[in-house]
Structure 1
């Protein structure tokens, strides 16, 4: 009987360590404070984020599909070629500047892409939260539909995966249309180090 009680306690232990969404929200409200351009609206969740939090990133499939369709309506894709300057794209991918309390409002932000992704083989310091994007364009080409997909994914990743951890760079206004095009260039241009 004692073994069974111990076993049940061990099974229940991980569940006891996970905070509830409400507990997380209390901590966020308690510990985050507005400073400069970094306001409290940044810690407020919209409906998609709240649903993903409450479902632990596993909403019912039909609901996820509906959320993605709703998010797709926010994606604004410019006309013409979406492949910008890959060299500017590399600088954006490397930069983590912008939108922090001590950055100047209105200055262009970076994408911090290397924090989560491997891109160029020359960059040794990269994150692994997101998939490796090394050889992305080499494997997929640069057809118009690929350009639209990449642009859209950067603009609003939740349009493709409802509970994506990737920021919604276009929807949030963090990156401009030109900056997103430059990132598309970084991923798809054959001359980019990503595709070497």
Structure 2
């Protein structure tokens, strides 16, 4: 018995192949056209920055003591929130301008009461739209959010370096001595405007931004530097 030879007719193979090739060519052409149109319509970085600024401004409103002017950036904030680190020259300018804003303590009195300093370090209140006043006297320093300070407090953040034994480790045994003055001045300036020593510091600028007043900063200074403070005795 003769058996027919099994085969696939060529015409049935070629037709689907031609169709696939046509579809692939069409898809490639469409993709190229979309890419060309997309590239031509992408906004410039400057335009994107303007759009982002407009969106941010539209998303906020005055509410209580919290005003829209808070979203306005100064040189340091603008430079340090960019997608690129500021150039060395810009960072130097930021630090110089920040140092120029530092108001040194009246009468050269750097330290207050470390007990009040501990209360301020534990207090994170202030400057929200629910607060009645922008006066610093109602604000806290919220130091424990980012730092270890005293040995007794076990709940603290680690965004910033440990401040435990801050004065002791720096050899401050007598804060009134001339030898202690460089550390006192450094610490005061750092609290007043942290950009004075690090252009893009993430630490709040307590004095410059009027988050704390002079007396409150003295109390925080005492917590860190008074030899009798538990920060330095334990």
Contact 2:99 2:196 in 1 (8 A): yes
Alignment-derived partner of residue 64 in structure 2: 36
Aligned to 2:159, what secondary structure does the other structure show?
coil
Moved runs in structure 1, 4+ residues, more than 4 A?
A: 20-27
Distance 1:21 1:132 in 2: 37
Aligned pairs for 1:81-96 within 5 A: 81-96=109-124
Relative to its length, the structure with more helix (as a share) is 2
CA separation of 1:120/1:26 partners in 2, compared to 1, >3 Å: closer, same or farther? farther
Q: What RMSD in Å do the two structures reach over aligned CA positions?
A: 1.9
Shift of 1:190: 1.5
Unaligned runs of 5+ residues in structure 2 are: 1-47
The reply to whether residue 138 of structure 1 matches residue 168 of structure 2 is yes
* Greater Cα radius of gyration, structure 1 or 2: 2
2:86 to 50, 59, 64: 59
The reply to whether residue 125 of structure 1 matches residue 155 of structure 2 is yes
Listed one character per residue, the Cα deviations across residues 46-93 of structure 1 (whole Å, up to 9, x for unaligned) are: 11110111154x212222112201111100102323011110011111
Distance 1:123 1:52 in 2: 32
The number of aligned residues is 176
Shift of 1:34: 2.1
Alignment-derived partner of residue 214 in structure 2: 177
Shift of 1:161: 0.6
Distance 1:121 1:27 in 2: 45
Distance 1:22 1:116 in 2: 33
Aligned to 2:221, what secondary structure does the other structure show?
helix
Alignment-derived partner of residue 5 in structure 1: none
Shift of 1:168: 0.8
CA separation of 1:24/1:146 partners in 2, compared to 1, >3 Å: closer, same or farther? farther
